[in-house]
Amino acid sequence: MQGLYIHIPFCVSKCVYCDFASFAGIRRLRNPYLEALKRELALQKKHYRNFNPKTLYIGGGTPSFLTAAQIKILFNSIYSCYKNFKEITFEANPESLTLSKIRLLKKLGVNRLSLGLQSTFDEHLKTIGRAHNYAQFLRTYTQAKKYFNNINVDLIAGLPNQTLTDFEQSVKQLIALKPQHISVYGLQVEVSTPLYKSGYECDDNLTRKMLESAENILQNAGFIHYEISNFSLPKYESKHNINYWQGGAYLGCGSAAASYMRGVRFQNTDDVKEYIKSLVQNKIPIVFKEKLCGKAKVGEEILLKFRLLKGFKPTQKMLKCFRKEFEILLDKKLIIKENKKFKLSEEGKYFANNVFRYFVEPF
């Protein structure tokens, strides 16, 4: 399968934990940015003539921060180059997803919404700088449910002042709303964020207890834990993200967007003004490009496959390149072998980065 990703870098405000390529206070750039996106899509269409994506993911940032008119412009640009998507995901936040936008997205062919909630506690939402409260989320979610039967909601474990009881309550409240997909992330305190600069240190032991509890509660409610951070009801797994983890081709358009095409990985500048400026000249501002070969390529394939919790049967090439690493990880009980498949152990799920580092250079 092949996928198309569109990056929308605009936000109402910047959350204190966020280190993504998203920005507040630049709404004036939305129209020129959409024009630049239109140009990039057309240029990439000419370059990759055989590219035929079956999934579309519009992420950010906050795509719902676009106006209804701008959302129409965005989809017109996409559909002028690519059509016949099986899955179209649109990310949104409660403060900017209005009923009229929900109806518009449905009309434009979106069949999967991803809503940023993070917590059902207003005090936690305020602490991390979210622009909505739980009541706003409930109103937006209730409206969205009337038009969409495939909705993902995000939660974060390990927030400042969040107790295990708080987090478990958020998970249970969310399950009661009957979404089809729930993403649960352990908080990562990145150096570039205001949260890091405030001196906050995440309690890793408490966060792990939260994640373990979430897995137990969600599985008992019928959700499948199919990827490290993702749970879904049967047949509602994210097709777009599974394509990433299976090593499929994907094209990313927009500032900071990453791509993997014809075995080459590349990424656009995260500078929104530079992105627009380059596309005015019909130049795609790629700032990074690499082609993995040999052992590095095999290692990345293994790393990605480990993210899917069902496991994978190693090829002879994988065993030839990484037999020693597999044996070490089995001995450390970070992975297990079951029915000729390798997969993360219960311990490995919470120390996945320790597993992944065995498969990236330097080996």
C-alpha 290/C-alpha 199 separation (Å) is 36
Confidence of residue 110 (pLDDT cuts 50, 70, 90): very high
Question: Is 266 inside any structural domain?
Answer: no
Are 84 and 152 within one domain? yes
Question: Is 28 inside any structural domain?
Answer: yes
Length of the chain: 363
| pLDDT value for 224 | 98
Q: Among 158, 160, 196, which Cα is nearest to 18's? A: 196
Question: Is 249 inside any structural domain?
Answer: no
Task: Name the domain count of the chain.
Answer: 2
Of the candidate ranges 12-16, 122-126, 137-141, 228-232, the one whose mean pLDDT is the lowest: 12-16
Are 214 and 348 within one domain? no
CATH number at residue 174: 3.20.20.70
C-alpha 237/C-alpha 227 separation (Å) is 9
Helix (H/G/I), strand (E/B), else coil: 230? strand
Each residue of 316-339: pLDDT tens digit? 999 999 999 999 999 999 999 999
Are 220 and 94 within one domain? yes
Each residue of 184-208: pLDDT tens digit? 999 999 999 999 999 999 999 999 9
Please say whether the beta carbons of 168 and 212 come within 8 A: no
Question: Is 109 inside any structural domain?
Answer: yes
Each residue of 2-52: pLDDT tens digit? 999 999 999 999 999 998 889 999 999 999 999 999 999 999 999 999 999
Are 211 and 312 within one domain? no
Confidence of residue 362 (pLDDT cuts 50, 70, 90): confident
Question: Is 272 inside any structural domain?
Answer: no
Question: Is 255 inside any structural domain?
Answer: no
Which domain range does residue 100 map to? 2-243
C-alpha 94/C-alpha 114 separation (Å) is 11
Are 226 and 341 within one domain? no
The domain boundary residue, chosen from 243, 265, 282: 243
Helix (H/G/I), strand (E/B), else coil: 319? helix
Please say whether the beta carbons of 63 and 90 come within 8 A: yes
Are 190 and 94 within one domain? yes
Question: Is 61 inside any structural domain?
Answer: yes
Are 180 and 315 within one domain? no
Are 235 and 311 within one domain? no
The domain boundary residue, chosen from 243, 276, 307: 243
